[in-house]
Amino acid sequence: MEVSLRGYQQEAVDAVINYLFKRKGNPLVALPTGSGKSHVQAGIIETLLTKWPGTTVMCLTHVKELIQQNSEKMRLHMPNVGIGIYSAGLKRRELGYPVTFAGIQSIYNKDVAPPNIIIIDECHLVPKSGQGMYRHFLEKILEVHPKLRVIGLTATPYRMRGGMLTGGKGKMFDSIVYNLSVDRLIEEGVLAPVKSAPTSTEIDTHFVGIQAGEFNLKELSSAADEEHVTGAAIKDAFHHGQNRRSWLFFCVSVAHTHHVADALRRAGVTAAPITGETLPEDRATWIAAYKKGDIKALVNCNVLTTGFDAPETDMIVLLRPTVSPGLYVQMVGRGMRPAEGKADCLVLDYGGNISRHGPIDDVVMPVESSGKGEAPVKFCPICLAECHLSLRMCEECGHEFQMEEKDLGKKASKLALLKSQRAINKHDVTSISYSAHKSKSGYMTLRVEYWEGVMSVASEYICIEHRGFARHKAEKWWLRRDKYIEDVKDVPKAVTEAMIFTDDLIMPQEVHTRFDGKYDEVVGYLF
């Protein structure tokens, strides 16, 4: 059976292969939940084995369901390739194959022949320092194979407790080579939209402390596991979810999970609690019943985040406040799989997560600072550089941010779960000015300013001289406007060269911007 990759999946594969063959370092691919990372992984392996015969690849992840899923997709792509599985959960310990799919818990302390390539699925789980099973295993491999290349795949290119995977001390990955937007997947029908609705109450976290970068679990459980909160959530669920098929609840603790499930059952809802203590056979039975529609609600604690696939889920209830932007994105992402008859997924957020983190495709997250604690950052939409939240300009490319105006009266119904849900402003363009801009880091960028009469309405920075994702965006931008070239190799490689040819560029009739609370971002054009 021949498998064809979707357009964006092939783009991701090409980006990884080009990076491996042209640059040093370890590439990272950011693909939203539901985009088909297992097919991208298989495509990367297939290309490597075709271009570089004799390559050995090991694919690491942390749950047996992903090991099984990833290996099955690989078999579809290359039916004749030798594939081994090393997983205690799957009761298989197979080594010596060109491709091995392994559970990190099963293999981290084993002596194995070093592969040429290691691919880590859900790589945001790799810790930032030299500790943990992933680090232990990789360091052993690097001792005997220092030229090892590591490829990362994730929906959240930052750690659960803050910081980009491509930055900071002890980073494993050097560059995000492909970053796919949620909007594109929704437009192509690959993902279902998500939206929020107002809730009748909110969990009070004012007196909950922070421990190791997350809410103190004991204190959080006491704050969340309140009868009035549970009662309000169930009442809201009945109100908003009466025409929705499958409800997924996220809770704080095992006890909290059982309390919510019990309350749902008393209200006449078929519900099952799933925690780390749930027997494997019960977990499998209840999930299967949920997918069939025989169980209305699944109530879970720290289980159904990554690797859980139930497209029928069309309402998510967040009774789990979190400081982690990664966990927040993973929880909401469980409802974005498309299904027949499913228009969208509704999110009821009782934990203040949307207001704390922002839209799932534009989160604000903490990162390591030089002092004590963590500093909030935003990411430049042009070059993906980390910038402190207080900065008015990206220090890498010069993109100008607008400062956020806090509105403490915001309700969940008014908060966007996706950037695209924010209002778009359209401006007529009567002229454009181009100038060279030098950032503090020394990079030159092309500053493009759009004018409506005598008024400047928008500006953006085109990263002509950057590499990776920022250069890719610059090439697409230039090819759309230059009426004399058709090949990416003809796009100027320096800002001084670009300035010579700006008269050849087509001027859009309109420029579209979106203010997201932090900055005005140019998001579209009308030509």
Q: Which domain holds residue 74?
A: 7-187
- 78 plus 125 within the same structural domain: yes
More confident residue, 316 or 358: 316
Task: Single out the residue of 353, 347, 352, 355 nearest to residue 237, CA to CA.
Answer: 347
User: At 146, which CATH number?
Assistant: 3.40.50.300
Among the ranges given (45-54, 352-361, 406-415, 423-432), the one the predictor scored with the smallest mean pLDDT? 406-415
Task: Give domain status of residue 80, yes or no.
Answer: yes
Q: Is 35 exposed, middle or buried (0-12, 13-18, 19+ CB in 10 A)?
A: buried
- 210 plus 344 within the same structural domain: yes
DSSP code at position 494: S
- 159 plus 142 within the same structural domain: yes
Instruction: State which of 315, 332, 357 marks the end of a domain.
Output: 357
Task: Single out the residue of 257, 252, 284 nearest to residue 68, CA to CA.
Answer: 284
What pTM does this model have? Answer: 0.65
Task: Give domain status of residue 319, yes or no.
Answer: yes
- 158 plus 201 within the same structural domain: no
Q: What is the pLDDT of the chain when averaged over all its residues?
A: 84
- 12 plus 144 within the same structural domain: yes
**pLDDT at res. 406:** 37
- 167 plus 224 within the same structural domain: no
Contact 34, 333 (CB under 8 A): yes
pLDDT tens across 251-284, in order?
Answer: 999 999 999 999 999 999 999 999 989 998 999 9
- 172 plus 89 within the same structural domain: yes
At a CB cut-off of 8 Å and minimum separation 6, what does 126 contact?
A: 120, 132, 134, 135, 152, 165, 172
- 34 plus 128 within the same structural domain: yes
Task: Give domain status of residue 36, yes or no.
Answer: yes
Instruction: State which of 130, 161, 187 marks the end of a domain.
Output: 187
The Cα–Cα gap between 134 and 33 comes to 22
- 28 plus 147 within the same structural domain: yes
Task: Give domain status of residue 346, yes or no.
Answer: yes
pLDDT tens across 23-78, in order?
Answer: 889 999 999 888 889 999 999 999 999 999 999 999 999 888 889 989 999 999 99
**pLDDT at res. 387:** 58
Q: What is the count of structural domains for the chain?
A: 3
Q: How far is CA 155 from CA 69, 261, 305, 318, 414, in A?
A: 17, 29, 12, 19, 25
